[in-house]
Amino acid sequence: MAVVYTLLVLFLAVFVAGFILLVMGAINFDFSNSEIPPGVNQPVKLRIIHIILISRAVVGKILENIGICSQVSFVRYIQGRKTLGVDPKLFIKDLWFEKVPVRIYQPKVPSASQRRGVMFFHGGGWVFGSLETHEKLCRSIARESESVVVSVGYRLAPEHKYPAAYEDCLNATIHFMKNIERYGVDPANVIVCGDSAGGNLAAAVSQTLAGGSDLPKLRAQILIYPGLQAVDFNLPSYQQNHRVPLLFRERAAFYVLQYLNGNATNLEEVLEGSHIPIDMKLNYRKWVSPDNIPKKFKVRGYKPHVLLDCTTEVYETVKRLCEPNLCPLLAEDAVIQQLPESFILTCEYDVLRDDGLLYKKRLEDNGVRVTWYHLEDGFHGIIGLYDYCGFTFPAGKRGLDSIVNFLKSL
């Protein structure tokens, strides 16, 4: 019995040691392949958070390889374990809008008039994120702007491919607007808001509702470092920030393909730009082009990318990337002209920076009022990290304050 016990202990020790070595090896690989520029806000804190996120992903991959659970399921499980408890200033309730789960945040302080309403769509690459991951952010927006905030728990990829997330966000917004009197919200003061992939969804929902006549017009859209196109992954911001946490260039393309097709097939073609025919790319250059980006955003380095053609087979697989409901930057001018007042937040050290800059130009060129806030020391995901695991990011708080101030101005 003692021999069996000893062997069991040795086996567990070897297993744990091997597990730790695997994790550390993967972390070291990712660590050596990442880059934090000197201008990034709080670089040491960002590095620590990046290591935490890498560790989570690596453990998930190991569990997947030994058949316990998928990596995606493990990461989602860990993300969903955050609990904040009762908020003394908010009524918080989980509801269903049709078949879509939502969490509604209503200020307890009495209001002499109807409040503004904010439909919030979380980020996470359409693959991750939930009502829980953005709970703290939604509470802050509701408290500080004294708005009713509705966070939408839309379906995630790869299980639910495009257009599932878009349809859930659209349907939840329509349901809210049709039943708005229940929540004490002014029908003329409804805003759609989202970060990253959620910013993509907010832009798509805003475009869809812009042409409708049976519902009140949206008051505004708030797009926080949104991903708005999948035509060109070689824009200046993609080249400059391709290895900057928390979103690498390759992962940005990976996530959009997961949303589109439920897999990352044709990732290399998308990254190099050989996924869309040249004639179509030339047509889109009036909207998606480095020429439309101010020169000051190219000083950190930019090399013009050679246009590559694609095969019919590849294009057939990814052609829905050209649909505005997935890539709002590709919407026609007739749609853009009808959009509501807009707020766009971008970060200097973010691969998605130029998506925001290009959309800002399109909106302004079409007569839409735009408030733009740029975090010179910011990185992708910073708004949700202004208070993460005890770490504070002043730039994230500045960004959140700018969003709240914009809401208060409406």
Cite the active site residues: 196, 350, 380
Could you tell me which of 315, 325, 200, 328 has the C-alpha nearest to residue 265? 315
- Tell me how far apart the alpha carbons of residues 261 and 272 are, in angstroms, rounded to a whole number: 19
Could you tell me which of 253, 305, 306, 311 has the C-alpha nearest to residue 277? 311
List Cα–Cα distances, 123 to 43, 60, 155, 297, 384, in angstroms. 22, 20, 12, 25, 9
With 0-12 / 13-18 / 19 or more C-beta atoms within 10 angstroms meaning exposed / middle / buried, residue 329 is buried
- Tell me how far apart the alpha carbons of residues 257 and 318 are, in angstroms, rounded to a whole number: 8
Could you tell me which of 263, 233, 265 has the C-alpha nearest to residue 157? 263
Q: Report whether the peptide linkage leading into residue 110 is cis, meaning its omega lies within 30 degrees of zero.
A: no
Could you tell me which of 177, 203, 207 has the C-alpha nearest to residue 116? 177
State the sign of the Cα–Cα–Cα–Cα dihedral 245, 250, 255, 258: negative
Q: Do the Cβ atoms of 396 and 382 come closer than 8 Å?
A: yes
